[in-house]
Amino acid sequence: MGEDILSMENITKIYGNGFVANKNVNFTIRKGEIHGLVGENGAGKTTLMKVLFGQEIPEEGRILLAGREVNISNPLIALEYGIGMVHQHFMLIESLSVAENMVLGSEPVKGIAFDYDEAVHRTKEVSKKFDLDVNPKAIIRDLSVGYKQRVEILKMLLHGAQILLLDEPTAVLTPQETRELFIQLKQLREKGYSIVFISHKLNEVKEICDRITVLRGGESVSTTDTATVSEQDISKMMVGRDVFLNIEKKKSNPGKPVLSVSNLSYKNKFGLYAFKDLNFTIRSGEILGVAGVEGNGQSELANVLAGLEPIQDGDIKVNGRSIKGMNIRQIREEGVAVIHEDRMTYGTSATQSIAENVISDRYYKEEYKKNGFINWEYVVSKSKELIQNYLIKADGYDAEIRTLSGGNIQKVVAAREFTSKLKLLIASQPTRGIDVGAQELIRKKMIKLRDEENTATLLFSADLSELLNGSDGIIVMYGGKITAYFPDASLVNEEILGEYMLGLKSQSSEEIGGVVHE
């Protein structure tokens, strides 16, 4: 590692509602290092990087580049200074080719027309220079998640970035794709590039980062050499207390089938099968994990089970009763609770209060009524109770959802769903993008529901560690089909799951058939 090439000094960012996202934060980046940036949701990581990339303007503080103060007022200026950001949700145009995406903002022209051949040439040149192979003529929508990420990184390098800011870069990658990404990042480090690596996966932070900076409550708590701290040390600095990274759970004792999926198929709006002929069963007191690279039918399956999409072919039964033709409320009345993958679109109403969100599935029930109207005194009492039990950090029960951090929003969703008198939980990415403290709470509650309420849970997660630690059995989806079933999650590892997720292996129909419990 070389000398400090960039320093952020006493950065303070306050939003219009008075929320202090960053308070006197100090952060330095050295030439040729991979620097981990960690902290709970709401700790100020993303805000700090948005300040550095010119997407937010701080109230106080300054940025020094090679010892000289610079004013970064927008992303274009950031790129001029050699700072590029790869967002967790890629900023690529799906209908365009790799080459067309690569040159957006600096398109080559021939006369007055876009010079496609030159765009292809530039893409090939930068691909060769950094040993990151891409097909310039491939259409983005046809590429895997890992491939898209490579395009994003190359795009920043083509635009002259010397400092790369990576926001949760492994959130949806398989172990094999993550390993390949780490090789690429290490090669960039050896060439003198600097990388900021934002992640909640502390094992990966330990593996790839030279130093780490921990933010807590909007302030910088510590910057240290990664080799000198353990994952437990890092989590304690993030949360301010000991956190149990691996949740202990006893062996399950499954009962009768709660969810039965029979010959279920679903075509998307393009008339293509998102999944086809799915058959599986989940029993009471059992957590069944679903592994798969994003885009292999998991999201569509979760939506059909939740009633967001209709049952087109096949059937779904909850406790022996078909939910075909039922609306969302009717499905929920059967004891189905849902943690949606997109907590802001389907899980909450951003402009409503915590209290209004936690009663949104039950306000019409007699328990919450008084003289024919909503009993707000009772609602407030129950909301305060849930805020306390689920450790939700907020100004109060009347705080709008949009004012909370991602982790606290997810706790609101969990508080509502876990107290809905559920028999079946559909949990889609329940801990994605949230901090270790919120992860610990949600995972513990899911296991408690399994053991004390005999809840059946279908757990969709891109976090393979979560699947392996939290599930009793695991199915793998590839190409819209179930290609593997592991009845005992403790006997499989991330490497094996990754091979099935990438389609390198598949089981026989006899092995897969074990997931259907008559």
402 or 262, greater pLDDT: 262
**pLDDT 10s digits, 402-430:** 888 777 888 899 999 999 999 999 999 89
* 14 and 135 both lie in a single domain: yes
* 13 and 31 both lie in a single domain: yes
The pTM (predicted TM-score) of the whole model is: 0.71
Residue 145: count of CB within 10 angstroms of its CB: 17
Distance CA 209, CA 191 (A): 16
**CA gyration radius, the chain:** 24
Contact 1, 162 (CB under 8 A): no
Q: Which domain holds residue 266?
A: 247-335+422-518
Establish if 345 belongs to a structural domain.
no
Give the highest mean pLDDT range of 106-110, 126-130, 334-338, 360-364.
334-338
Establish if 426 belongs to a structural domain.
yes
Residue 63: count of CB within 10 angstroms of its CB: 22
Contact 191, 164 (CB under 8 A): no
Count of domains for the chain: 3
Please say if the pLDDT value at position 518 is more than 80.
Answer: no
* 135 and 174 both lie in a single domain: yes
pLDDT score, position 367: 92
State the DSSP code for 233: H
Which pLDDT band holds residue 17 (cuts at 50, 70, 90)? low
pLDDT score, position 346: 87
Phi and psi of 61, rounded to 5°?
100, 175
The pLDDT of 255-275, averaged and rounded, is 92
pLDDT score, position 428: 92
**CATH number of the structural domain spanning residue 168:** 3.40.50.300
Instruction: Look at phi and psi of residue 396 and say left if phi exceeds 0, alpha if psi is from -120 to 50, else beta.
Output: left
Average pLDDT, the chain: 90
Establish if 346 belongs to a structural domain.
no
Domain boundary residue among 404, 420, 436?
Answer: 420
Which pLDDT band holds residue 310 (cuts at 50, 70, 90)? very high
pLDDT score, position 211: 96
**pLDDT 10s digits, 125-180:** 999 988 888 999 999 888 877 788 889 889 999 999 999 999 888 877 778 888 88
Residues near 70 by Cβ (< 8 Å), separated by ≥ 6? 63, 64, 81
Establish if 188 belongs to a structural domain.
yes
Please say if the pLDDT value at position 90 is more than 90.
Answer: no
The pLDDT of 490-518, averaged and rounded, is 90
* pLDDT above 90 as % of the chain: 63
* 314 and 193 both lie in a single domain: no
State the DSSP code for 59: S
Domain boundary residue among 367, 386, 420?
Answer: 420
* pLDDT above 70 as % of the chain: 97
Establish if 347 belongs to a structural domain.
no
What six digits make up the tokens of 99? Answer: 């080459």
Q: Is 367 exposed, middle or buried (0-12, 13-18, 19+ CB in 10 A)?
A: exposed
* 400 and 462 both lie in a single domain: no
Establish if 399 belongs to a structural domain.
yes
Distance CA 482, CA 500 (A): 10
Please say if the pLDDT value at position 3 is more than 90.
Answer: no
* 387 and 255 both lie in a single domain: no
CB burial readout 257-294, b (16+ within 10 A) else e: bbbbbeebbbeeeeeebbbbebebbbbbbbbbbbbbbe
Domain boundary residue among 207, 239, 271?
Answer: 239
Establish if 341 belongs to a structural domain.
no
Which pLDDT band holds residue 48 (cuts at 50, 70, 90)? very high
* 177 and 34 both lie in a single domain: yes
**pLDDT 10s digits, 457-474:** 999 998 888 899 899 999
pLDDT score, position 345: 83
Q: Which regions of 227-284 does DSSP assign to beta strands (E)?
A: 257-267, 273-283
* 276 and 320 both lie in a single domain: yes
Which residue is listed with tokens 């592991």? 486
Establish if 340 belongs to a structural domain.
no
The pLDDT of 72-86, averaged and rounded, is 93
The pLDDT of 204-218, averaged and rounded, is 92
What six digits make up the tokens of 438? Answer: 């919120």
* 157 and 215 both lie in a single domain: yes
* 415 and 426 both lie in a single domain: no
* 316 and 443 both lie in a single domain: yes
Distance CA 240, CA 138 (A): 47
* 79 and 178 both lie in a single domain: yes
Torsion of CA 161, 167, 170, 173, to 10 degrees: -90
